[in-house]
Amino acid sequence: MSDICTVCGNTSLAETIAPFAFSHGGKDYVIDDHQTVCATCGTISYAGEQISRHELAVAAKIRAIDGLLSAEDLRRIRQQYAFRQTDLEAMLSVGPKTWTRWERGKVPQSKAADTLIRVIADDPEVARRLMQRAGIDNPAAADVFAAIDEATTRQAEARLRAQIAEGPSGMTARDVAQRAIAAVREVRRAAMANPA
């Protein structure tokens, strides 16, 4: 941090926490902001770590206002599938380093991106299709999807066997297929509600 005010040249600078007002979505909001203030002319400036704290505080407030996933949520979702940040940028059709800024907490994602990220988190088939559509080659993510498929198959098979054993005799192939689809959906919902 410079010890001299860039406006008046005085050395009477002090770090402080003060209210900072900003507008978002046509409304005004206030956060507690770490600032450097010149006691002589009142100029407010940001130095070093204060800039990062300011960006993080504003972005966190916007995420809270809009009900968006947190930066930690984004990191957890990315790691859940072993995606790289660049993978998600390609899957969501956003620019370079966009996911990085979202995950670091400095910039909030849009509501539309947040909605799609939530779908990706909840549905591995959507995540897999978006990865394939973007032409991403990620062996670690492919291994995650293979493990999801294997676990889903085992659990769905066990549930289906139990349902068939309990069901009426004379079930048609369509009955079996419908029960199989229902079992797979149920297993996927349960797996995504309780990720390992």
For residues 83 and 100, the answer to whether their CB atoms sit within 8 Å is no
Tell me the pLDDT of the chain averaged across its residues.
89
What is the distance between the alpha carbons of residues 13 and 164, in angstroms, rounded to a whole number? 77
CATH 3.40.50 assigned to 13-66: no
Q: How far is CA 109 from CA 60, 62, 63, 69, 71, in A?
A: 11, 10, 8, 8, 9
Pull the structure tokens for residue 61.
């407030």
Please report, for the chain, the start and end positions of each structural domain, with discontinuous segments joined by +. Answer: 13-66, 71-133, 150-193
pLDDT at 121: 95
What is the distance between the alpha carbons of residues 186 and 159, in angstroms, rounded to a whole number? 9
Choosing among 1.10.260, 2.40.160, 2.20.25, 2.60.40, the CATH entry for 71-133 is 1.10.260
* Reported confidence tier of residue 63, pLDDT bands at 50, 70, 90: very high
First to last CA, the chain: 44
User: Which residues are CB-contacts of 79 (< 8 A; sequence separation ≥ 6)?
Assistant: none
Report for 26-30, 33-37, 111-115, 172-176: range of highest mean pLDDT:
111-115
73-95 pLDDT, tens digit per residue, is 999 999 999 999 999 999 999 99
